[in-house]
Each structure stands twice: as C-alpha cells, then as structure tokens.
Amino acid sequence: MKHTLLTVLVLAGISSVLSYPMYYWNDEFVPWIPKYSNLTNMKCPNKTCTPDPLKHQWTREDCCVCRAKPLWEVPVDSTVRLQLEYVRRNGIAEVFSEEQNKSQYYSLYHSQGYLSKLPINICAFPNIVRIDLQSNELTEVGNLSCLSMLDDLDLSYNKIHFIGNDTFNGLTNLRELRVTHNGLKLLAPSTITAQSLQIAKADFSHNDMCSIEFSNMISESDFCEITFKSNNISEIVNTNNFKIDPNKNYTGGIVDLVGNSFTTFIDFETLGITDIAILGKVLSYGFVMPDVKWTCDCHMEPYLELAEHIIKRIWRDYFNISCWLPLEYRGKTIPDIVKEGRLDIFICNLTVEQKCPPKCKCFYQPKERRTVVDCSGVGLKELPRYVPSGNRFSNNLTLIFKDNNITHFGNRSYLKDATVLDMSGNKVATFSHEAIEMLPEDIDLNFADNNFKKVPRAFQTLNPCKSKFGDVTIDCGCDTEWMKTWANNRGLKQCSNMSSLVCETDRGLIPVDEISVDDICKQENIMITISIIFSILSTLIMIIFGIAYLFRYEIYLLQRKYFLRNSASKVGFLLKYDAFVSFNDENDELRIWVLNVLVRHLEASGYRLFVPCRDLPPGSIKEEEILEQIINSRKYLIILCDYYQQNDITWTQIEWKYIWCHFRQYMERNIIVINFDQLETSEQTDPKLRAFVRLGYDIDFSNRKHDLFVTVKSRLGAPLKSLFFRGNKKTKFMAHNLITNKGSFDPFTLVDSTKIKLEL
Ligand SMILES: *[C@@H]1O[C@H](CO)[C@@H](O)[C@H](O)[C@H]1NC(C)=O
Ligand SMILES: *[C@@H]1O[C@H](CO)[C@@H](O)[C@H](O)[C@H]1NC(C)=O
Ligand SMILES: *[C@@H]1O[C@H](CO)[C@@H](O)[C@H](O)[C@H]1NC(C)=O
Ligand SMILES: *[C@@H]1O[C@H](CO)[C@@H](O)[C@H](O)[C@H]1NC(C)=O
Ligand SMILES: *[C@@H]1O[C@H](CO)[C@@H](O)[C@H](O)[C@H]1NC(C)=O
Ligand SMILES: *[C@@H]1O[C@H](CO)[C@@H](O)[C@H](O)[C@H]1NC(C)=O
Ligand SMILES: *[C@@H]1O[C@H](CO)[C@@H](O)[C@H](O)[C@H]1NC(C)=O
Ligand SMILES: *[C@@H]1O[C@H](CO)[C@@H](O)[C@H](O)[C@H]1NC(C)=O
Ligand SMILES: *[C@@H]1O[C@H](CO)[C@@H](O)[C@H](O)[C@H]1NC(C)=O
Ligand SMILES: *[C@@H]1O[C@H](CO)[C@@H](O)[C@H](O)[C@H]1NC(C)=O
Ligand SMILES: *[C@@H]1O[C@H](CO)[C@@H](O)[C@H](O)[C@H]1NC(C)=O
Ligand SMILES: *[C@@H]1O[C@H](CO)[C@@H](O)[C@H](O)[C@H]1NC(C)=O
C-alpha cells in the first residue's frame, strides 16, 4: 500500500467529512460564496484550514472548495427524504413525500434496489438536493436537467457504461458526483468540466476506462478532487482538441490517477502545450499517480527541469517515484537522478520508422536539446541518406559517423542542422564543396584519421579551434596558402591539440602556420616554367620537322651542294656522255629548240650528249637503253616545260625517276635544269623539281640571249673529250680495270637495271 502524503490528506479530508460532527463539533460555519459560481447556500468552516503542505498556495478559497457544506447539512442534515415506490416490474418507480411543504429540500435514498431508470416523476420535486441510488440497475444517468438544485449525486454500483457530455447540463449547483464501480467505459469530453458546471468533487474510481479525456481533468473553475482511481487508463487523449489557454489561471485541485496502467507522466506536449514552463504558471494542479511503472524517458524530462516547487505541486508523488524502465535505471528514484544532475539519461530511442538510419542508434535528448545519431563502426560507405527529422530538436543534430569506411564527404541536406559532426576514423579523401558550405560556422567538427591530402578552401569559414583534423600531411601548393592565414588569424596555435597540419616541402615537413609562400609556390613556378618551355620546344620541333619534311628535297639539294661535294670522284672520265638530255619530245617547239639549238651548240663546243629521241637505237628495249645511257652520263640536262611532269606516266617521268635515283646515289652526278617555259615554283607538281626551281638552281630560259649557253657550259664543266682524249673506244676497258681494282666504288657494278631501287 503506497499512499502519497497527499492521498493520505485527501482521505483524511473525506473521512473528516464523514465524521463531521466530531471534527467540526466546535467549528463555526460561516456563509461563503464560491469565486466561480453563484451558489448562495454554502457555508464554510470559519476555522483556519490546515494548509496542504503540497499545495502551492493553500488559500481560504481552496479550503472552502473542499470543505464547504450546503446550509441544509449544517449543523445537521435537514432534508426531507422522498419515498420510492415501484410502479412496474422492470425497475420503474415513482417518488412521493409524506410532507407536503414545497419549500423544503428533499433527498432521495434508494440502495440495493432494482431501479432501471430514474423515478419517472422526479421532476415533480425540483428541490431535490441529494440523490443516492447506489447498487441499483441503472444503465444510464438519465435526464436530470429539471433538478437545478441538485448538489450531490451518487450513482455508484450501477451499470452505467457511458456518460455523454450533455448529461449534467443545467445542473449548475451540482458539487459532488460519484459514479464508482459501474464498469464505466467512456466519459465523453468535457462532461464534468463544462463551463456551466462547478463540480468540486468527482469520483469515477473503479471503472473500466482505458483512456481519459484531457478535457475532463482540466477545469477553469476551482475543484477539490477528480478521481479516476483504479481504472485501466493507460493514456490521456484529447479528442475534442482541448487547449490550455496560457492567459488563464487553472486553479484546479487534485487529479487522482492512482491504480491505472500509465507508464509515463502526462505528456502535455502532445496535448498542445508547447512550453512546460507555462504549465507551471497556469496550472495549480496536482496529479497523483504514485504506483506507475515509470519509464524514465524523454517525456519525463521536461517536468524535471521545472522549478522544484512547481513539480512538487503538479506531480504530487514526485518525491517517491522511481524508474521501472529502462532496465539500467530500474529502482533509481527520480529525485536522486535529478540531484545527481543526470537529466541527460532521459532519452527516447528513435526507430527506423522515425528515419533512424539502419544499424545506427538514434535518440532524442531533451536535456541537451538535441537529436543524436550514432553510427559508429557500422560499416557505412557513404554518409547516411537521411537522419531523423521533424521532431522538436532535429535542428540540433549530433552526428557520430566515426570508424566507418566513408570515402567521400557528400552533400546531405541535414548537414546544415549539425552542431556536432564526428567523421574521425573514416577514409574520406574527397569533399563535396556544397557539403562543407552547408556546415554551420560554429560546428564541432572532427575529421581526424582520414585519407585526405588537401583541405578544401571551404573550410576556412569554420573555426579551427572547433575543427579537429588530427595529424594531416597536406599536399601543399599555391592553393593552400589560405591555410596559413586561417591558422594565424583564428588562433590554430592555441588549439594545437585539435589539428597538426603540416606541409610536405623540399625542406621537409613544415607546419602550415609557418609556411612561406615561396616554400609551396616556388617549386610549382619552376615546374610551370619548365613545362612551358618544354611545350614551346616541342611545338617548335614539330614545326621544324614539318617544314623539314615539306622542304626535304630542297634540304637535300643544299646539303649535297655544301657538304658532300668533296666526295666527287674522278670516275667522270670513264663515262660515255657529258650529259643525258631529258625533255618532253612531244612538245614540237621544245624539240626543235633542243635538237637544233641547244644540242647543236653544245656538241659544237665538244660535249657529248645523249638525246633519247635522237640517239635511241631503233629496236632496242627503250627503258633498258635509257637506263644504261643514264648510267653512262655524267650530268643530266632537264629541260622543263609545261608537259615535262604530268600526272600520266610518260617517258620523261620514267627518265626523271632514273635520273633522280642516280643523282642520289652518286655524288659526282649532277642535274642541270633549264626552265624552258619559265615555270613558277607552284606550277611544279613534282616536289623534287620544285626544289630545284625554288632554290633557283634552274637556268632561266629567258636568259638565253645573254648567257644561257655560258651558264649551261659552266655547269657541265669541261667536256669529257678534253679530259679523256683517247676516245671512247677504250672506255669500257678502263672501266673493267676499275671494276677489278676499286670494287663497289664503281658505278658500273650497279648497272643491273632491275636492281636499282626506285625510292620515289
Ligand atoms: C513514499 O512512499 C512510502 C511508502 O512506500 C510512504 O511511506 C511515504 O509516505 C511516501 N512519501 C511521500 C512523500 O509520498
Ligand atoms: C451567475 O449569475 C450571473 C447573473 O446573475 C450569470 O450571468 C452567470 O452566468 C451566473 N454564473 C453561473 C456560473 O451560474
Ligand atoms: C470566525 O473566526 C474569527 C477568528 O478566527 C472570528 O473573529 C469571527 O468572529 C468568526 N466568525 C464567526 C461568524 O463566528
Ligand atoms: C415548510 O418548511 C419550511 C422550512 O423547513 C418551514 O419554515 C415552514 O414552516 C414549513 N411549512 C409548513 C406548512 O410546515
Ligand atoms: C430533459 O428533459 C427536459 C424537460 O424536462 C427536456 O427539455 C430536455 O430536452 C431533455 N433532455 C434530454 C437530453 O432528453
Ligand atoms: C461532447 O462529446 C462529443 C462526443 O461524444 C464531442 O464531439 C463534443 O465535442 C463534446 N462537447 C463538448 C462541448 O465538449
Ligand atoms: C487494461 O487495458 C489493456 C489494454 O490497454 C488490456 O489488455 C487489459 O486487459 C485491461 N485490463 C483490464 C483489467 O481490463
Ligand atoms: C492568474 O494569476 C496571476 C497570479 O497568480 C494573476 O496575476 C493573474 O491576474 C491571474 N489571471 C487571471 C486571468 O485570473
Ligand atoms: C535505448 O536503446 C538502448 C539500446 O540501444 C537501451 O539500452 C536503452 O535502454 C533504450 N532507452 C530507452 C529509454 O528506451
Ligand atoms: C544543441 O546541442 C548542444 C549539445 O550537442 C547543446 O549544447 C546546445 O545547447 C543545443 N542547441 C540548442 C539551440 O538547443
Ligand atoms: C572497411 O572496409 C574494409 C575492407 O574494405 C573492411 O575490412 C573493414 O571491416 C571495413 N570497416 C568497417 C568499419 O566496416
Ligand atoms: C546539395 O544539397 C542541397 C540540399 O539538399 C541541394 O539543394 C543541392 O542541389 C545539392 N547540390 C548538389 C550538387 O547535389
């Protein structure tokens, strides 16, 4: 048997009422008009009330609400008892009175009867002030609205299962109501606390209610006690959305909830009270619920934060209660926990349905005004997609993601609500800039033991004294220069225990706040210069190679002229002809000029020339013969004209191929180009001939009037005849000697025309 002091007092009060003559024997009753009603027939003991030690202010008003009596009870009961007579079998009865004095107060007593309804003629006695129908068969209260004088109604031990909220309408004088032991299941909202009612004592104990309406516990008018003892109430509901008005005073009384199935204290927050502190101001109530198996969770905490005198008042048995759940605190009394300052243990665990990430532990901790999400070591590979939101403290998140495998610090909208973020012991190497920018400025950050080599600049808005990075070796570059300012301006030194950021440089590891720009930027400058130079060079080389390729024949000709001339040998005297004359003999004008002018002139000067269209022996294989004569010629005289090189294969092209081939192979051979049609460089399709023209190695035909022949002759050099006067009959013989003597040096060894490679 656990009773609170108050319950004891209340019981004492009730018993004092019952033992009235003894208790108040010498007490004087004086008229009293309640503050919240128009009752004129009340008398209150003149004796100073013994103050209730737990009541906030035990005023005379409070005292009279509980102890006043109507004048027909003082000093002794003066009511006239009505008689009752069953008029039908099914519990229908009538009342009557032997005394016929209409101004008298009546009372009705009928216990252990069979009444199934209120007596049918009860409205004939509007002066009834007391009805006691205990232990009957009533299934409903019935229509009592005609009994405006009714002061005391007792319907205990009946079978009333439901009481609607219009039942007591009009009973403005009703002060005491007892409906105990009825199997009552439902008491409609605002049934006993409607504004027109002033019920001072209501007793609904020993019924079957599972829930109780909030509006039946809170009244604007004073009351002494409302009792819901020994029901099966586990929750307080608010179906009609009753609201406590913070601008009103709810002077109240005591609500007795002993012997129910509660596990937590009344959650006023879900009943629309946003600030428990307001409750302490407006509610002069006491709730009595000593025998609850208390769950010490977040719902309890707000009350424990209230000033002690307020908790003591509201929560009557507060000093005697202990936790039942969670198991780790079972048996610990709440006042002890409060004294030890351990209000932080009053938490509510959040489930996956409440958006707690899988495998994580989430809870809501009113003492710290925060929601904690603890995902330590659960194998996360990325930041959780969501965390609990929408509760009162989800804008103050403590996120513990340490010891996971997170590699990227990604963008999550909840990061903006984080006040603590522990990312230590992960593998973070990259950061999303949005994510860092979302972090509040004064966040408590821990990024120790991760894999990053760069600290993103977005961190510079954060306080280095609250951002722990641990020992990080940074890949410093010009872009990390900001860290020096960051570290110096915001006093990283004082917080050296938080982070030790060092740069890797040529001079070894240097703390970021001591780094100089040169240390981190110079190396990069050199690298940049080198790379620029390198790229310029490589471009240049590319261009040179391109040009060299484009002008490869020009280069070859120049090279031949300036570097390879010394290797000219004297084999010239072994050859048959001074020059092989190659030209397009289909061009009549050209042929006539060549044969009649050029060749004639040169032969007259003693040169021996081979002109294919003139000297080819009839019946010979033309290509072989040409090749042989090319081999036998010291120089090649090319007469360029419009048709010398064309796309179709012509004889001149074949001649040219062999000529060039020989020219390449033997240094002493030479090509003399006469530009008959004065062709421009661009008009030459063959790149080799173009090179001659471009280099100006050709002899301009327009020159002929002055010194064309002189130039040609000087290029041809002295004619063979003058060097080798023994005549060409001996040439072959000499050649044979040469072959045997000098081997591969002699051009004749290469005469085999099929073996000449045409590289072009
Ligand atoms: C606390 O409970 C004990 C019995 O369990 C009782 O004797 C005591 O009076 C109670 N104290 C209060 C303040 O209710
Ligand atoms: C008290 O009487 C006044 C007028 O006499 C009336 O307006 C008021 O409603 C009454 N109050 C109650 C609670 O009956
Ligand atoms: C009520 O008690 C006070 C003293 O406590 C006394 O002065 C007063 O006369 C009493 N009133 C009546 C009506 O007895
Ligand atoms: C009726 O009752 C009142 C009050 O009890 C009393 O004053 C009055 O004399 C009675 N009248 C009769 C006729 O008995
Ligand atoms: C109760 O009876 C009165 C007449 O006495 C009537 O006006 C009223 O409507 C009845 N109320 C209900 C709920 O039946
Ligand atoms: C009376 O009860 C009904 C439900 O039984 C509810 O809807 C209604 O709001 C209540 N009336 C008042 C004045 O609370
Ligand atoms: C009390 O209510 C619970 C459900 O809230 C129910 O399971 C239990 O049977 C009820 N107990 C009694 C005695 O009615
Ligand atoms: C409520 O009580 C406070 C003092 O306890 C008082 O100042 C205030 O006027 C009261 N408000 C109302 C509406 O009665
Ligand atoms: C919350 O969960 C932890 C285990 O995850 C448990 O030990 C604790 O008792 C729970 N607390 C509450 C109030 O349910
Ligand atoms: C947020 O939570 C921290 C504890 O992590 C607490 O100190 C702080 O007061 C809370 N902030 C607010 C605004 O409630
Ligand atoms: C992280 O990943 C490695 C393998 O990649 C694994 O061995 C280790 O257990 C993981 N750590 C956690 C905390 O899951
Ligand atoms: C980052 O998250 C915010 C908020 O969820 C969103 O508005 C933004 O588009 C995201 N940015 C990127 C790049 O995902």
Secondary-structure class of domain 1-78+161-345 per CATH: alpha beta
For ligand 12, say whether the CB of 433 is within 6 Å of any of its atoms.
no
Mutate to test the pocket of ligand 11, among 401, 404, 405 (most ligand atoms within 8 A of CB): 405
Determine the residue type at 611: V
Element (H, E) at 538: helix 517-550
SS3 of 220-272: CCCCCEEECCCCCCCEEECCCCCCCCCCCCECCCEEECCCCCCCCCCCCCCCC
C-alpha 429 – ligand 11 centre gap (Å): 16
What's the CA gap between 579 and 609, in Å, rounded? Answer: 5
624 vs 52, more confident: 624
C-alpha 405 – ligand 11 centre gap (Å): 6
- Ligand 12 atom closest to the Cα of residue 432 is 13
408-409/418-422 β-pairing: unpaired
For ligand 1, say whether the CB of 73 is within 6 Å of any of its atoms.
no
What's the CA gap between 303 and 296, in Å, rounded? Answer: 12
> How confident is the model over 549-607, as pLDDT tens digits?
888 888 877 887 777 655 545 555 567 888 888 887 777 887 888 888 888 888 888 88
Nearby residues of 521 by Cβ (< 8 Å), 6 or more positions away: 477, 478, 481
C-alpha 189 – ligand 6 centre gap (Å): 5
Mutate to test the pocket of ligand 6, among 161, 162, 163, 165 (most ligand atoms within 8 A of CB): 165
For ligand 4, say whether the CB of 97 is within 6 Å of any of its atoms.
no
For residue 29, what are the CA distances in angstroms to 34, 39, 711?
14, 16, 159
For ligand 11, say whether the CB of 377 is within 6 Å of any of its atoms.
yes
Common-topology check for domains 1-78+161-345 and 348-517:
yes
For ligand 11, say whether the CB of 404 is within 6 Å of any of its atoms.
yes
Atom 4 in ligand 1: which residue has the minimum CA distance?
2
42-45/29-31 β-pairing: antiparallel
Ligand 8 shell residues, CB under 6 Å: 248-249
Q: Report how many helices (DSSP H) and strands (DSSP E) the chain contains, helices first.
A: 20, 36
Domain spans, the chain? 1-78+161-345, 348-517, 571-753
For residue 240, what are the CA distances in angstroms to 204, 237, 251, 405?
20, 9, 22, 51
Backbone angles phi, psi at 533, to 5 degrees: -60, -45
What's the CA gap between 724 and 329, in Å, rounded? Answer: 130
| 437 alpha-carbon distance from chain centroid | 11
Mutate to test the pocket of ligand 6, among 163, 212, 239, 240 (most ligand atoms within 8 A of CB): 240
Write out the two tokens for 148.
């405006």
In this predicted structure, the answer to whether residue 750 has a pLDDT above a threshold of 70 is: no
Which of 428, 489, 414 shows the shortest CA–CA distance to 456? 428
Nearby residues of 500 by Cβ (< 8 Å), 6 or more positions away: 470, 471, 472, 511
Which of 625, 701, 752 shows the shortest CA–CA distance to 614? 625
Ligand 9 shell residues, CB under 6 Å: 297, 326, 328, 347, 349, 361
What is the model's pLDDT at position 16? Answer: 41
Atom 12 in ligand 1: which residue has the minimum CA distance?
4
SS3 of 665-697: HCCCCEEEEEECCCCCHHHCCCHHHHHHHHCCC
741 vs 486, more confident: 486
What's the CA gap between 34 and 242, in Å, rounded? Answer: 25
Mutate to test the pocket of ligand 7, among 206, 228, 232 (most ligand atoms within 8 A of CB): 232
What is the model's pLDDT at position 522? Answer: 66
For ligand 1, say whether the CB of 322 is within 6 Å of any of its atoms.
no
pLDDT average, residue stretch 450-462: 84
What's the CA gap between 286 and 609, in Å, rounded? Answer: 140
For ligand 2, say whether the CB of 681 is within 6 Å of any of its atoms.
no
Cis before 75? omega within 30: yes
**Span of 5-9, 256-260, 647-651, 652-656 with lowest mean pLDDT:** 5-9
> How confident is the model over 260-309, as pLDDT tens digits?
988 877 777 777 777 777 777 767 778 888 888 888 888 888 888 887 77
Nearby residues of 131 by Cβ (< 8 Å), 6 or more positions away: 107, 108, 147, 150, 152, 153, 154, 155
Backbone angles phi, psi at 96, to 5 degrees: -155, 165
C-alpha 162 – ligand 6 centre gap (Å): 13
Determine the residue type at 352: V
Mutate to test the pocket of ligand 8, among 36, 245, 249, 309 (most ligand atoms within 8 A of CB): 249
C-alpha 173 – ligand 6 centre gap (Å): 21
pLDDT average, residue stretch 472-476: 81
pLDDT average, residue stretch 484-489: 74
C-alpha 114 – ligand 5 centre gap (Å): 24
Torsion angle, CA of 337/339/341/345, rounded to 10 degrees? 10
Mutate to test the pocket of ligand 5, among 143, 144, 148, 191 (most ligand atoms within 8 A of CB): 143
For ligand 2, say whether the CB of 37 is within 6 Å of any of its atoms.
yes
In this predicted structure, the answer to whether residue 10 has a pLDDT above a threshold of 60 is: no
Nearby residues of 210 by Cβ (< 8 Å), 6 or more positions away: 185, 231, 232, 233, 234, 235
For ligand 11, say whether the CB of 376 is within 6 Å of any of its atoms.
no
Q: Does the predicted TM-score (pTM) go above 0.85?
A: no
C-alpha 236 – ligand 9 centre gap (Å): 24
**Interior CA angle at 11 toward 33 and 207, to 5°?**
95
Sorting pLDDT into bands at 50, 70 and 90, what band is 59? Answer: confident
Ligand closest to the CA atom of residue 417: 10
For ligand 10, say whether the CB of 395 is within 6 Å of any of its atoms.
no
Q: Are 160 and 141 in contact (CB under 8 A)?
A: yes
For ligand 3, say whether the CB of 30 is within 6 Å of any of its atoms.
yes
For residue 143, what are the CA distances in angstroms to 95, 102, 207, 303?
16, 22, 22, 42
Which of 177-186, 492-501, 612-621 has the highest average model confidence (pLDDT)?
A: 177-186
Around Cβ 703, how many Cβ atoms within 10 Å? 16
**Span of 65-79, 187-201, 671-685 with lowest mean pLDDT:** 671-685
- Ligand 1 atom closest to the Cα of residue 316 is 14
**Whole-number average pLDDT of the chain:** 80
Ligand closest to the CA atom of residue 398: 10
C-alpha 41 – ligand 5 centre gap (Å): 26
SS3 69: strand
Q: Are 445 and 426 in contact (CB under 8 A)?
A: no
Secondary-structure class of domain 571-753 per CATH: alpha beta
| 146 alpha-carbon distance from chain centroid | 68
What is the model's pLDDT at position 317? Answer: 75
SS3 119: coil
What is the model's pLDDT at position 595? Answer: 83
- Ligand 7 atom closest to the Cα of residue 208 is 14
For residue 154, what are the CA distances in angstroms to 111, 301, 533, 643, 752?
10, 39, 108, 139, 145
For residue 604, what are the CA distances in angstroms to 580, 598, 599, 601, 719?
16, 10, 8, 5, 11
Atom 13 in ligand 6: which residue has the minimum CA distance?
190
Cis before 326? omega within 30: yes
For ligand 11, say whether the CB of 381 is within 6 Å of any of its atoms.
no
730 vs 481, more confident: 481
- Ligand 2 atom closest to the Cα of residue 196 is 13
Backbone angles phi, psi at 32, to 5 degrees: -145, 130
C-alpha 249 – ligand 8 centre gap (Å): 6
Query: What is the end-to-end Cα distance of the chain in Å, rounded?
Result: 122
Residue 472's Cβ-side half-sphere holds a number of Cα atoms within 13 Å equal to 29
Atom 8 in ligand 3: which residue has the minimum CA distance?
46
DSSP string covering 311-376 = HHHHBTTGGG-BEEESGGGTT-BHHHHHHTT-GGG--EEE-GGGTPPTT-EEEEEGGGTEEEEE-T
What is the model's pLDDT at position 646? Answer: 61
For domain 348-517, give the CATH number: 3.80.10.10
> How confident is the model over 204-241, as pLDDT tens digits?
999 999 999 989 988 888 888 999 999 999 988 888 88
80-86/93-96 β-pairing: antiparallel
What is the model's pLDDT at position 491? Answer: 60
Write out the two tokens for 399.
């996120």
Edge-to-edge strand order for the sheet containing 42-45? 29-31, 42-45, 69-70
Atom 9 in ligand 11: which residue has the minimum CA distance?
379
667 vs 187, more confident: 187
